[in-house]
C-alpha cells in the first residue's frame, strides 16, 4: 500500500523539490501540493493522508499553529530553512525536521523513520529529531571524459537546460554535461540559486539587473518563465 502524502509550503520551488523526491520512491504518492495551511486543512478533511511535509514559516497560519489545530493529525515531517524551531517540533512529536535545501539522501532517511514508526519499532532513533548539521557544500564535481572536475558554486554564472543535458556557464568555460536541470537544482543550495525558468537556474549573487521578464547576469539576459515570475520577483524584492 502506498504512503499517501501531502506537501504544504508557500514556496513553489520547495514544493517541486518534495514532489521530485517523492517521485523517486515507488511507495510514496503525493496526493496534494498546498500553498498554505487552509488548503491543507481542506485536503485533510476530504482525503486520507498518511504523511505531511509541512513548512513552518508560512503567511497567515504557521506550520506549528496549523499542527496544533489538528485533533488527529497524520504523521508530520517539518521542512524549514530555520534550525531554531527544533524544540517546538520535538514537543509536537513530529517524525523529523528537514532543513532546506533538502537533499534526497536526507529525505530518504526521514522516510525510513516513517517505516520504522509504522512497523512499531519505537527505538530512540525514531523518537529523536535529527537535524542535519553537515557543512553545506560549496562546489560540484562534474565528469569530463574520465576526469572529475571541481566547479565552485561562486564561479557559476548560470545554468541552461537542453533536454537531458545542461550547460554550466562559468567565466572561463562552459561545462556541457548529461544531467537534468531539475536534479541539478536539488544539488545547489536553495539559498544561493534560483530557478527562474524551466530552462534556467541563476545564482542570486550574480544577478545585476531585474526587469519583469528578464534578469541580467553579466552580459546575458536570462528570461523569467511565466510560471516562475511571481516567486522570482518576490524573492528578489522587485516591486516595479
Q: Is the dihedral of CA 191, 183, 132, 55 positive or negative?
A: positive
pLDDT tens track, the chain, 240 positions: 789 999 999 999 999 999 999 998 888 999 999 999 999 999 999 999 999 999 998 988 999 999 999 999 999 999 988 776 666 666 788 888 888 888 888 898 889 888 888 765 434 333 334 444 444 568 888 887 778 888 999 999 999 998 888 999 999 899 998 888 887 887 788 778 999 999 999 999 999 999 999 999 989 999 999 888 888 888 888 766
pLDDT value of residue 120: 58
| 34, containing H or E segment | strand 28-34
- Contacts by residues 58-62 (CB-CB < 8 Å, ≥ 24 positions apart): 58/8, 58/9, 58/10, 59/10, 60/36, 61/36, 61/37, 62/37
Q: Which residue has the cell 532546506?
A: 100
Using CA atoms, how far apart are residues 95 and 75, in angstroms rounded to an integer? 7
The reported pLDDT for the residue numbered 88 is 65
Is 229 within 8 Å of 240 (Cβ atoms)? Answer: no
- Model pTM score: 0.52
Asked if 61 and 54 touch (Cβ cutoff 8 Å), the reply is no
Amino acid at each position: 500500500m502506498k504512503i499517501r502524502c501531502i506537501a504544504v509550503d508557500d514556496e513553489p520551488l520547495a514544493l517541486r523539490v518534495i514532489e521530485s523526491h517523492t517521485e523517486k520512491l515507488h511507495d510514496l504518492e503525493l496526493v496534494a501540493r498546498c500553498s498554505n495551511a487552509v488548503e491543507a486543512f481542506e485536503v485533510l478533511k476530504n482525503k486520507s493522508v498518511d504523511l505531511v511535509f509541512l513548512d513552518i514559516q508560512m503567511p497567515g497560519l504557521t506550520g506549528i499553529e496549523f499542527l496544533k489545530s489538528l485533533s488527529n493529525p497524520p504523521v508530520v515531517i517539518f521542512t524549514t530553512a530555520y534550525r531554531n524551531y527544533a524544540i517546538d517540533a520535538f514537543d509536537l512529536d513530529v517524525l523529523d525536521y528537514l532543513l532546506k535545501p533538502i537533499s534526497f539522501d536526507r529525505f530518504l532517511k526521514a522516510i525510513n523513520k516513517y517505516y520504522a514508526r509504522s512497523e512499531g519499532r519505537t527505538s530512540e532513533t525514531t523518537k529523536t529529531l535529527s537535524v542535519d548539521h553537515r557543512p553545506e557544500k560549496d562546489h560540484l564535481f562534474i565528469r569530463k571524459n574520465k576526469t572529475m572536475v571541481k566547479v565552485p558554486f561562486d564561479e557559476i554564472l548560470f545554468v541552461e537546460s537542453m533536454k537531458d543535458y545542461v550547460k554550466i556557464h562559468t567565466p572561463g568555460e562552459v561545462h556541457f554535461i548529461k544531467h537534468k536541470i531539475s536534479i541539478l537544482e536539488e544539488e545547489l543550495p536553495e539559498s544561493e540559486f534560483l530557478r527562474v525558468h524551466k530552462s534556467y537556474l541563476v545564482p542570486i549573487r550574480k544577478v545585476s539587473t531585474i526587469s519583469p521578464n528578464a534578469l541580467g547576469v553579466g552580459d546575458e539576459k536570462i528570461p523569467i518563465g511565466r510560471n516562475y515570475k511571481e516567486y522570482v520577483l518576490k524573492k528578489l524584492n522587485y516591486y516595479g
